[in-house]
Amino acid sequence: MRHSIAQRVLGVLTLGAALAACGDTEPAGPAEHAHVGLAHIHGLAVNPADGELYAGSHNGVFVVTGKSEPEQVAGRTQDFMGFTIIGPDHFLGSGHPGPDASGQPPHLGLIESTDGGETWRSLSLSGEADFHAMEAKHDTVYGFDSQTGKLLVSKDMRSWDQRAALPMADFAVSPDDADELLATTQDGVVRSTDGGRSFATDDAGPVLLLLDWASTKQLVGITPDGQVRTSADGGESWREAGSVPGSPQAITWHPDSGIYVATDQAIHRSTDDGATFDVYQQLG
């Protein structure tokens, strides 16, 4: 298990440099949309505007209803290495331009959509940062930059403070305290109480790959082999829950609709706090 997460952490730090190389951009044409499916999911979030699950992926942002094939938003094929939703139709992303893009840098920095992913504009760090994990809480954006290996933090989404350099696969911010973060490393879950400037590694929690901290008592993580763990005390202790088959790629816990876990095979959903999971959307 430790070997598996070490490989994931290494991938987080080096994948951005291996991928192909924003201002406002127009949606890609319908011919692209007809041939591209949802794969390699990097982020999951529920849009308050319509209550639907959205996935940021290697092939763009998709709406996933669980009732029909995932629909690529705006026909845009683009690699969203980082993806989160911060309000109704208000998305943040990061990653790399699509195969037909020209004149864009290989790393898009922080990009924003205020129309549900139809159009995007560059906010900051264009050509510099490639966020592989992102959180937006407490009127603050946190991002793990694969290019520097550092946690970056911004209040205005334009100027950034560099925090700790830590080889992590994922992180989560406390819903109650802007300075408390958990991060997944090859040695286990580590905690910061100073806004990510430092992380305590002497009392690491279980080895997890992905995390999401939805509310005070709703913290969920998953191991590299798909075993789900939940915590009701901010990660001080963890309870064994259900499991999902395949390689985990993204996780989110929405207080109203449940826990979603994306793997290389499917998106799974739990409505009983992680005890059991059903296939919400088959992939491939």
CB atoms within 10 A of CB 74: 20
CB hemisphere CA count around 218 (13 angstroms): 18
Report the residue count for the chain: 284
234-241, Cβ contacts within 8 angstroms, sequence gap of 24 or more: 234/174, 234/180, 235/182, 235/189, 235/191, 235/205, 238/205, 238/206, 241/270, 241/273, 241/274, 241/275
**Of residues 191, 187, 151, 204, the one with CA closest to residue 12:** 151
Pair of tokens at residue 256: 């109203």
Predicted local distance difference test score (pLDDT) of residue 35: 58
Domains of the chain: 2-282 (2.130.10.10)
Instruction: Tell me if 44 sits within 8 A of 134, measured CB to CB.
Output: no
pTM of the model: 0.89
Q: Are strands 266-270 and 110-113 parallel, antiparallel or unpaired?
A: unpaired
Q: Which segments in the chain show pLDDT lower than 50? A: 1-34
